[in-house]
Amino acid sequence: MNSSLDYANEFMPSIYAAPVFKTLLCARKELLSPRQKAEIKKYSKLIRIDQGVVVYEEGEEASYVWNIARGLIETYHLLPQGTRRITSFLFPGDLLGLMENGFYVSTARTVQPVIAFQIPIQVLSELALSDSQLSAALLTKLCQDLREAQRHIICISQKDAAPRLATFILWLCTIYGNDVEPPKELSLPLARHQIAEYLGLTTESVSRAFHLLESSKAIMRRTPRLISILDMEKLRSFSTLEVGAGILS
Amino acid sequence: MNSSLDYANEFMPSIYAAPVFKTLLCARKELLSPRQKAEIKKYSKLIRIDQGVVVYEEGEEASYVWNIARGLIETYHLLPQGTRRITSFLFPGDLLGLMENGFYVSTARTVQPVIAFQIPIQVLSELALSDSQLSAALLTKLCQDLREAQRHIICISQKDAAPRLATFILWLCTIYGNDVEPPKELSLPLARHQIAEYLGLTTESVSRAFHLLESSKAIMRRTPRLISILDMEKLRSFSTLEVGAGILS
DNA sequence: CGAACTATTGACAGTCGTCAAAGAAGGTGG
DNA sequence: CCACCTTCTTTGACGACTGTCAATAGTTCG
């Protein structure tokens, strides 16, 4: 699934946390000190994982945690009827490998080619035990992830498809945008079915929701994977959540 | 909102984690050592909070964390249109007070009268920094909460009301049941509107879902707050999730 | 016992999931 | 570089279920 990287010096471990202030778009904050980065780098292996590869499966015994440097990962659960529910997307700066009692709680799969630091959990435990600042950083990151999950819950508790999709697009803007102004164009890293599996809808509904947002001139589909944001305010008005304030800050 | 308790010796701090094994019902596991319990007890205050009291509000500066000893708490977000979305319920053994950058991320309110240890975050931070085992316990608890949130996500990503309600009831069974067998009767600590706000439905839909589960003889409503579990298998068949296995273990 | 609140049930409009088919996009090999 | 094939996306029609509004029944507490 992976290959060692010879251009290892290009990357450094980093863990980001979203900002607390309620500006619309802003970069996430680094949680690690240079010393901690060096420590993690020393004891971990920088690997590349191809697109579409299952990194680990639900219920598997956990042996690593990954710090994503580049790329995109989805975690999901397979439901009895064979449907998939995506529970989270992980971006550069995120930590992959949520476990419980030593077993991974969901399945993880690369959506884009990924470059990541592969950290043996043993190593991370020891580092955390000896470095209480690192331990605090991990706690902060987990709080962050928990809040992210709550945002997800509120997003999909909206009944209609358009508000869910609008909320999702606005969220992507906060991730891929810079901290000055909203992006005019947004390149979607996901296929329709992945958006649907994240939003608790079908691909058809997602498609219809795109149509609705487009016909209201909030966005425009350049290609299925590239959209233009025409009217941020209108897009925001679709979402029940006050994106850029409150929970989606 | 609270009063000091003179019968303080009756309670001890405790943090539970759900079990890893996939049995249907089993008690949760204690994460704290007796020494850690004593430490926390020493530096915290045992308080009682009446029913229906707002413990803290979203965006408020965070000064305490609570370890619930008895009672039930809901955390929620108020959406712009005035609707409420309950993001979690907290039971005895849970930690209340999720914060981000020093501010609470949601509003917390007691659903039942609560007895809890009120721990200044300053104290908890210091204890965690000096006791790496405690720090690890907190990490474990947060992983637990994160998994709980994922379970919630999967629950409300089910389209129909009956599966959501069935999943919810089965979940309550795992919390209030003993670890030997499913409870025959279940006393609901929540009003219909609270169930609805948690499941992303309306009270009417919850009511109709109860009717459906009842007419299929899976459950029976004794009173609005007390139901009999007639057929566990049938109840389980409503839920898309394999409760008692997989994600709801 | 009565009043206020909670829960239930009914009718109707709107939206989603399903099934089906057509249209676009991207990748491969000649 | 182009034709072809596969995969992804979009659109349409229809049945089912939820939200809304409204009215009735049941519970609980003073």
Would you say residue B20 has pLDDT above 60?
Answer: no
Task: List the CATH code of the domain at B2-155.
Answer: 2.60.120.10
Q: Is the pLDDT of residue A39 over 70?
A: yes
Site from B21, B75, B87 to mutate, A interface, most A CB atoms within 10 angstroms: B87
Asked if residues A148 and A75 have their Cβ atoms less than 8 Å apart, the reply is no
pLDDT(B18) > 50: yes
Q: What are phi and psi of B216, to 5 degrees?
A: -90, 5
Q: What's the average model confidence in pLDDT over A202-223?
A: 97
Amino acid A183: pLDDT = 85
Does B226 contact A at CB distance below 8 Å?
no
- Tell me, rounded to whole angstroms, the distance of Cα B34 from its chain centroid: 24
For A86, the closest chain B residue by CA position comes to: B154
Q: Cα–Cα distance between A154 and A148 in angstroms, integer?
A: 10
Cβ-Cβ contacts under 8 Å, A129 against chain B: 132, 135-136
Q: CB–CB of B149 and A153 under 8 A?
A: yes
What architecture is the B159-238 domain classified under in CATH?
Answer: Orthogonal Bundle (1.10)
| A98, A129, A150, best to mutate vs chain B, most B CBs in 10 Å | A150
Q: How confident is the model at residue B249 (pLDDT cuts 50, 70, 90)?
A: very low
- At B245 the pLDDT is 44
Nearest residue in B to A158, CA atom: B200
Query: Is the predicted pLDDT of residue B240 greater than 90, yes or no?
Result: no
CA of A224 to C1' of D4 (A): 22
A193 Cβ within 7 A of any nucleic strand D atom: yes
User: What is the number of residues in chain A?
Assistant: 249
pLDDT greater than 60 at residue A155: yes
CB pairs under 8 A between A and B: 144
* Pair A111, A189: CB distance under 8 Å: yes
Does B243 have pLDDT greater than 60? no
Kindly determine whether residue B153 and residue A154, on different chains, have CB atoms separated by under 8 Å: no
Q: Is A154 on the interface with B (CB under 8 A)?
A: yes
B 21-80 residues with CB < 8 A to A: 58, 77, 79-80
Question: Which positions in strand D are less than 7 Å from the protein's CB atoms?
Answer: 8-13, 17-22, 27-28
pLDDT for A248 equals 44
Whether the Cβ atoms of residue B94 and residue B44 lie closer than 8 Å to each other? no
The closest nt to B83, taking CA to C1', is D19
pLDDT of residue A21: 38
Q: Which nucleotides of C are covered by protein (CB under 7 A)?
A: 6-11, 15-20, 25-26
Separation between Cα atoms, residue B240 and residue A80, nearest integer Å:
7
| CA angle in degrees (0–180, nearest 5) for B8-B10-B12 | 85
Please report, rounded to whole angstroms, the spatial distance between the CA atom of protein residue B210 and the C1' atom of nucleotide D23.
Answer: 20
Residue A26, pLDDT above cutoff 50: no
Output the CA angle B42-A125-A19, nearest 5 degrees.
80
Q: What percent of chain B has pLDDT over 70?
A: 88
Cβ of residue B3 closer than 8 Å to a chain A Cβ = no
Mean pLDDT for all residues in chain A: 89
- Which sequence spans correspond to the domains of chain B? 2-155, 159-238
Contact B18, B145 (CB under 8 A): no
What is the CATH code of the structural domain delimited by A158-238?
1.10.10.10
Q: How far is the CA of B170 from the C1' of C15 (A)?
A: 29
pLDDT digits (tens, 9 = 90+) for B59-86: 999 999 999 999 999 999 999 888 999 9
